[in-house]
Amino acid sequence: MIRLSTILHARVLEHDPKSGLTTLYFDGGEMRVPRIDAPVDSGVALEIDASDVAIALSRPMDVSITNRMPATIVDVELLDLPYARVTFALGDARLNALVTWESVERLALEPGLRAWAMIKTAAISNVAVNPARLPERRPPVLAQTSNLVKLPVRR
């Protein structure tokens, strides 16, 4: 078996005691992981095993996988049979997926293709606190502008 992984540098956004999950922000979006012992706004480095990354061509809806991120394929490399490495761009971050040659052919995976990278929350376990290489803070949701027009309220 080929072993590939990706290291993502992220910032702790919040801890949810009800679900036991931590939300992280990285250059390509947000990810939920099992609760980590790091304060909000601190830096962490996650190691994601490429064999734990699944690919979908359409938006995955009815699946148990929590981390579903739109991405662009930037490289497909055929490795020793039956494996292939598919590299995604998630914003400025890169994420590797390990799939089979059969999957590459069946899904017609190629650079430039938009797809969904999916990672089970339970698969993410190697998290280390790392204050260096933090992504910038996520812009507040309220800072986004809206094109909605307010209508007068009739009383």
CA nearest 97: which of 65, 80, 81, 75?
A: 75
Please give the model's pTM, rounded to 2 decimal places. 0.80
Rg of the Cα trace of the chain?
18
Protein fold of 5-134: OB fold (Dihydrolipoamide Acetyltransferase, E2P) (2.40.50)
DSSP code at position 49:
E
Domain ranges in the chain are 5-134
What tens digit of pLDDT does each residue of 8-61 get?
A: 999 999 999 999 999 999 988 999 999 988 899 998 888 899 999 999 999 999
Is the predicted pLDDT of residue 109 greater than 90, yes or no? yes
User: What whole-number distance in Å separates Cα of residue 136 and Cα of residue 130?
Assistant: 14
pLDDT greater at residue 9 or residue 152: 9
Is the predicted pLDDT of residue 110 greater than 90, yes or no? yes
CA nearest 49: which of 20, 102, 108, 7?
A: 7
User: What whole-number distance in Å separates Cα of residue 64 and Cα of residue 120?
Assistant: 8
